[in-house]
Structure 1
Amino acid sequence: MANWSELSNDILEYLSSFLPLPDYHRFGAVCQNWWSVAKQKHSRPANQLPWLVMGDDYATQKRIFFDLLENKHYCIGIPELRGQYLCGSFYGWLFTIDIQLNARLLNPFTGKQYNLPHLPAYNEYFKTHAYLIEPTETCTATFAVMQMELVWKATVDYDPSDRSDFKVVIVYGEYKRLAFWRPGDLRWNLIKGVCSYIDDVLFSDGKLYAVTSLPDNILCVVDDWSDPKLTEVNISIPKDPDIICVSYLVDLRGELLLVQRFRECNIVDERHHTTIDIQVQKIDVDEGVSVTCKHIEGYAFFLGVNLPVIIDPSKFPSCRKNAIYFTDTSYVQNAEKYGRDDLWIYDLDTCKLSRYYPPHIYIPDVAAPIWFNPNPW
C-alpha cells in the first residue's frame, strides 16, 4: 500500500488545487509533508462560493462565518476582527472600523493590514453629535453607532496582495459622499463633483463608476485621477419613485450592469424593509442607453457591501444559475427587534425569492452580514 505522507509535492499541489478553503485546511492537517505543501503561496485553494461574515459569537468572542457550500457555521478566532464593523470586502480583504473609530484594511487569514487615516466624516460627526461610550436615557448615540455611520461601503481598484499602487474608495458620512486613499497618503482625498447620496461604486475598465440613490438613479464616472471629479453620464435609468431602491454596479465580463433591488416596509408586523423585486439594467456608456436584462448569462451574483462576486454555477451544483444572492443592508428602526432577515436568492427566470440562510437563526442588528471570498494569502 502506498504511503500517502510520501506523495510527491507535484501530486499534492495538484490534488489541493481542487479543494475549497475548509478542506484545504483539513488537507494541511494530515501530516507535516502535506502542511508544507498547503502553506506554499503557489498552491492556493480552488474557487469556492463566498462565505458570509457574521458578528462575534457572544460566548467565545470568535467571529462567525457561514459557509454556503457546506451550509455550516464556523467560529474562527481572529483577534484582529473582534468588535470590528465591516463595510467592505474584496479579494479576501476586509475594510474594518473598530470601536475607537480606527479604519484598516485587513486580510483576516494572513493578518496583513494597512492602517488608514482618520475617516473624513470623523470630525464632522464630533461637531454635530454628542457621542457617548454608553447610552443614557436622554442620548442613545454611542461610538458603536458611529462605527456604522462613518462609512457605508468601501472598495478597491486592485488586489492589495498583488499591487502596491491600489486605491481605496469609500462612500462615507450622512450625505454618502466619496473619498479615496492610496498607500502613502496621510489623509483621505475628497472626490469633487456630483458626489452625494451615492448608493454604490465600482471600478471597471480603469474608471470609477458610481450610482446615486436620490432623487433618481444617476450614473457618474471618474476617469482622470490627476484631478478626480465625479461627472454625470447622460443615461436614462428607469426607477419607480414610490418604492425604496438599493442599487449595485456589476462588471460582467466587461459589460456594466446596474442591479436595482426594490423594497417595501411590512407595516403589519413592523419589520424593517424587505425585498420584493429585483431588476437588472445593462448600461452602454458609449451609446448612452440602458436595456433591461432578464438573464445574466447563467451566472450567480453575490451582492451587498462587498465587491460583487460572480460565480459560475456549473462548478457548484448547489448554486443557483441566473440568480442574485444578496444580504440585508437595512439601516432603519425596528431591525433590532427582529434581527436581519432580508437575505434571499432572487431567481431571474421565475422572479421568485427563496432563502439561502436558515430563517429561524436570529441575526442581531449589530451590522449587516457581508459576503467574503476567503484568500489565505
Structure 2
Amino acid sequence: MESVQGGWFCGCSKGWLFLALGTTLANLQIFLFDPITRVQIPLPPLSTISNFEDCFTSCRSEWSRNPAAYIIDEVEPSSSDVSQCIVAARLSDEDETLVLCRPGDERWTIVKGLLVEGYCYGSIIFFDGELYASIVNSNEEYDDNQAPLQIHSIMIGSQRVNLKLIYSSTSPPPFLCYAQEKLLYCKDNYRSSCLVESNGQLLMVTQTWDAIEEEQEQEQEEEDEEIPLVYLQAGTFQVFKIQNTTQDTVCITRLTHLDKQSLFLGIGGCVARENLNHFHKNSIYFLQVFDYRGRGDKIRPYVCREAGVYHLDDGSIKRCFPSIPTKSCSYMHWFSPNINLFSLNGDNCFNTSIK
C-alpha cells in the first residue's frame, strides 16, 4: 500500500476506505480506497466545498495529524460498485450541511438550508436507492411512533437523488447529576444515534453515555486555566425499525430482539451482520465514538476509549475490550471488506484502528 502511505483516514463504508493525502489544501487529494484490491477512486477536491478552506486552516495547527478527519464526520457511498456510486458526507463543522458527489465529478454538490433552526444532521445512509438522514433536536420529542418525514429531490449532475429527512422520535434521555468528593456524576449525559441497514430493513440505533467529571472551583472556571478530566462510559442502547407510512410521516418501532443479527457500532457508522461465528447474536459491539472535548482554544482528550458488547436481551454490558488512552483524532472503526477473503468461518467483520 505504498501509494497511500501517509494518508489520512476519514471513514469507511461498503468495503471502501475514505482517505486524504497531502499536507496543504492545494495538494490535498481525496479518494476511495479498497484495501483488498488496492483500487483508488479519486473524488472532487474538498476545496470546492464552501468554508472548507477556513476549517482546514484552523484545524491544521491543532490537528496536524489528521485535520481532514476532524472536519468530516461520516462518509457513505451508495454502493460498493463505483460505476453506480454516489458518495455523501456529513461535515462536523457545519451540522446543517451535507455534500454529495459521483466519482469523476469536478466539484462536490452542497446541500444546505433544508433544516429549521435548532436541528442538525445525526446520521446518513443510502437505503433502497435513496439517501436517508436523521435530524435531531435535543428539545423535541414525539410521544407516539409517528415521526415527521421530509423528502427533497437533489440533482447530482444529471442524476436525481431523493433525500429523506427523518426526525428522531426517541425522547431525550433523563439527565441526573450528583456530586461526590469533587467528582460530578452525570447519568444519561449524552445521546447519539446511527442508521444501519439490517436484513433489508432500515434501523436506527441510539446510545446514551454516562459521564464522570472533575468539579472545578468557580475561580478556576472563570479563568479557564484547565479543562477538567472527563471519563465517559456506555449506558444503554436501543434499536428501532423505521418504516414509511405516508408521504410526510414514518413509523418508528422499538425492537427488543435482532434474531441472529450482530451490530457493530463505531464512529461514523454501523455494520450489521448475520450468523457470525464466535460473535454474540442479538448484541451490539460498540466502540467509543468520543475523542476529545474543548473549551475556548484548549483541547483535551477524554480519559479512556471504551469498547465492549451490549446484550439486547437483558441490557447487560461486557467490556471485553480494554479501555485505552489515545491521542486526539485516533479513531477506531468497524470495517467489512468487499470480498469474503476472511469468511472461512463465516466471519468477515473486523476492527481496524487507523490514525
Contact 2:32/2:41 (<8 A) preserved: yes
Shift of 1:329: 1.5
Higher strand share: 2
Q: CA RMSD in A?
A: 3.2
Which residue number in structure 2 is paired with residue 189 of structure 1?
A: 109
2:170 is aligned with 1:237: yes
Which residue number in structure 2 is paired with residue 166 of structure 1?
A: 85
Report the residue type matching 1:341 in the other structure: R
Report the residue type matching 1:284 in the other structure: Q
- Name the CA shift for 1:241/1:124 in 2 (closer, same or farther; >3 Å): farther
Contact 2:14/2:77 (<8 A) preserved: no
Cα distance in 1 for partners of 2:148, 2:107 equals 27
Stretches of structure 2 that go unaligned for 5 or more consecutive residues are 142-146, 176-188, 215-227, 342-355
Report the residue type matching 2:322 in the other structure: P
Contact 1:104/1:114 (<8 A) preserved: yes
2:57 is aligned with 1:95: no
- Name the CA shift for 1:130/1:181 in 2 (closer, same or farther; >3 Å): closer
Which residue number in structure 1 is paired with residue 195 of structure 2?
A: 249
Structure exhibiting the larger radius of gyration computed from Cα positions: 1
Contact 2:132/2:164 (<8 A) preserved: no
Contact 1:90/1:306 (<8 A) preserved: no
Cα distance in 1 for partners of 2:127, 2:56 equals 37
TM-score in terms of structure 2 length? 0.70
Higher helix share: 1
Contact 2:48/2:108 (<8 A) preserved: no
- Name the CA shift for 1:123/1:302 in 2 (closer, same or farther; >3 Å): same
2:76 is aligned with 1:113: no
- Name the CA shift for 1:117/1:323 in 2 (closer, same or farther; >3 Å): same
Cα distance in 2 for partners of 1:338, 1:97 equals 25
Which residue number in structure 2 is paired with residue 285 of structure 1?
A: 244
Report the residue type matching 2:314 in the other structure: T
- Name the CA shift for 1:168/1:330 in 2 (closer, same or farther; >3 Å): same
Which residue number in structure 2 is paired with residue 343 of structure 1?
A: 307
Task: Provide Cα deviations, 1:52-96, integer angstroms capped at 9, x if missing partner.
Answer: xxxxxxxxxxxxxxxxxxxxxxxxxx3344333323222321011
The aligned runs of 1:250-329 (5 Å cut-off) are 250-268=196-214, 270-286=229-245, 288-305=250-267, 308-313=270-275, 315-316=276-277, 318-329=278-289
- Name the CA shift for 1:126/1:91 in 2 (closer, same or farther; >3 Å): closer
Cα distance in 1 for partners of 2:90, 2:55 equals 19
Which residue number in structure 2 is paired with residue 155 of structure 1?
A: 76
Shift of 1:283: 1.8
Secondary structure of 1:244's partner? strand
- Name the CA shift for 1:219/1:118 in 2 (closer, same or farther; >3 Å): farther
Task: Provide Cα deviations, 1:245-276, integer angstroms capped at 9, x if missing partner.
Answer: 11111222222211111113221592343321
Secondary structure of 2:51's partner? helix
2:334 is aligned with 1:371: yes
Cα distance in 1 for partners of 2:56, 2:17 equals 27
Contact 2:49/2:110 (<8 A) preserved: no
Contact 2:231/2:303 (<8 A) preserved: no
* Percent pairwise identity: 23
- Name the CA shift for 1:98/1:123 in 2 (closer, same or farther; >3 Å): farther
TM-score in terms of structure 1 length? 0.66
- Name the CA shift for 1:220/1:211 in 2 (closer, same or farther; >3 Å): farther
Which residue number in structure 2 is paired with residue 333 of structure 1?
A: 293
Cα distance in 2 for partners of 1:327, 1:293 equals 21
Shift of 1:180: 0.8
- Name the CA shift for 1:103/1:89 in 2 (closer, same or farther; >3 Å): same
Contact 1:193/1:230 (<8 A) preserved: no
Cα distance in 2 for partners of 1:329, 1:83 equals 23
Shift of 1:172: 1.3
Shift of 1:182: 0.6
